[in-house]
Amino acid sequence: MLGRLPGERREVAAGREFRRGHWHGHELVAVLSRVGKVAAATTATVLIERFGVDRIVFTGAAGGLAEGVAVGDVVVARAFLQHDLDASPLFQRHEVPLYGRARFGTDPALSDALAAAARAVLAQPASTLGPDAVREFALGAPAVHEGLVVSGDRFVATGAESAALRQALPDALAVEMEGAAVAQVCHDYGVPFAALRTVSDRADDAAHVDFTRFIDQVASRYSAAVLEQYFRLLPKS
């Protein structure tokens, strides 16, 4: 979706390129979060402090954790947690010190709208991806899942690590590297937040295979199509 905004204007802040533009009558700012929790927190803070955004929608890829969360499916986050945060014994494992909680919820209305847009797009994957990509990545009937997504500063790429995550956090649907940080920043500022992730791998020993190609051919196309649908249906304020 970066580079698709008609009449966009580019502005650099904190070393990132922010693109301001309009889509389906809505004003928006598009930016790459960068990788990892700190980078994503900085990006979210700049969006809020400097650009004054009144909501944030995050898209990207994730590794599937829960049974049935398959490559090519989409996860709409209803809550986030940092799976690598552990200040025990001072605080419970995963609890963010001084917040009294481990989980940060996403905005229900924004997430409902994102999930509806995702379901509409995934009902016909070939019209977004083309028949060749559907065949190459064996994307038969992709599903939309909703629930907990966990974040940490590690690309999870072994069966042992994903099994440990499943055991520690049985309701986690997927794992990625940024969402919980953005959720916490949005919580701090009272900014509604929603996130959608395309499942690129199963966070196991095969997780690195063709990751870049999958992002190119599938995840980025789903993101653009879902956001297009989301902005088209969003009432103009």
**Residues at the site binding ligand ADE, with contacts judged by CB under 6 A:** 61-63, 155-157, 175-177, 200-201, 203, 207
Q: How many CB atoms lie within 10 A of CB 236?
A: 6
Spell out where 74-224 has E strands: 74-82, 104-105, 144-151, 172-176, 193-201
Nearer to ligand ADE, 74 or 175 (CB): 175
- Residue 52 CB, shortest distance to ligand ADE, in Å, is 29
102 vs 175 by CB, closer to ligand ADE:
175
Q: How far is the CB of 116 from ligand ADE (least distance, A)?
A: 24
SS3 string, 127-157, reads HHHCHHHHHHCCCCCCCEEEEEEEECCCCCC
Please state the closest distance from residue 177 (CB atom) to ligand ADE, in A: 5
41 vs 48 by CB, closer to ligand ADE? 41
Residue nearest to ligand ADE (CB): 63
The answer to whether the CB of 218 falls within 8 A of the CB of 137 is yes
CB nearer to ligand ADE: give 212 or 237. 212
Strands 74-82 and 144-151: parallel
